[in-house]
Structure 1
């Protein structure tokens, strides 16, 4: 049956404000950028708004950005001065923020509005190549600082109705995030091992098994070597929870990220039927 229900995504968002950079460092993200361009193509014009669960925002409980015109959060260091002047100018959506809060509260999950929260780089690093016209409203949802995977899966389940309302749900993090091991070769093996576990869990496991494995993700090979602090993994749980019984697929995979790390992004649920029918006709 054809549907316009949107899939959900867990996206590896790369390093710092990369879409705004020039020079050699920028080319590290060419494959990631191409995957985002392809994502925009397969979604067509179906998304009416975007909800980003960012690995760069955590609170006690959950907070929802509710301002009409979000500012910027320059949550990185060591970059040239001009990268602290950039602006991603998409509007917020107080109406969507209230709806997200209501859905969570109705599921027994504490959530509150935050009218001052701006776009952090977990959001604008993806949104700039994904929607460069800056015309689609964007709302952010924080993580809960306890990092409970089961709780974040529950959050995803509560937010699943948004998919039928034209709201694109994105979990923004990195499939490998160990900053102390990015330089040199120490991270190469662990990133491959953990990525292989992700592929097995998210793509080849039945939905019930997938959920069980995610709740117990610390048992995965190289789990803590890949994520000494799981802030960049937990957004995955929300994306999966919102499409828990639906198939997973890889949308981005790179074995030479940052000189030899393995990184991936994933989609959950089918791509919209409008794009499928175009592909079938080619």
Structure 2
């Protein structure tokens, strides 16, 4: 039987677990039969021939408490910050509520002092450097632990900034859509007024005789195409006479466009 400890869990890219070869189609079919009809004599014979229990193929239940192993190291199931005492490290700052900024400054000064002391030891007694190096290591671990206590606050602030950024971006996009709809509604209103003037223009008269001052600069490609359609239907500004069907279609298209703008807003 395979040795469960044969796999090197500490590898950066570990090999698949030793039992992955058990998950074959015949074995999975036996597992389904064992669930549905466990008293079948043929099934019992087939299960006895297996070198492992058939229900070992079932995935284990999720771990809800304790620790789990990953890359050869234990990790708590509940993601909590382990205390220095739980890690076997001496705590150099007071317990309870502290001024973290003040304590970090103290530890920083201690690290500088111990570094200078290490330089002195290396120049006088090089064989005693290990003690000073261990002191500096403990100081930096304490500083790192204090900084890690800020992680929940950092996560909340990062999430808040991301949500505010998304909200601002969506507000700008909404404002741009509303502005485009307002410009489009203005152009459609001008086109509608122009079409009505053409319906009442006498034969032989031109639109310029009515002294209509309509801003025909299209705000959007939709407005530009609608304006071109209206101009073609008008026949270069002349009275359209019997072309009322094209005018009605243009009016209906403009009405639908106005309704679309109202729906978007």
Q: 1 or 2 for the larger relative contact order (CA 8 Å, sep ≥6)?
A: 1
- Which one has a larger percent helix, Structure 1 or Structure 2? 2
TM range (shorter): under 0.3
Q: Which one has a bigger Cα radius of gyration?
A: 2
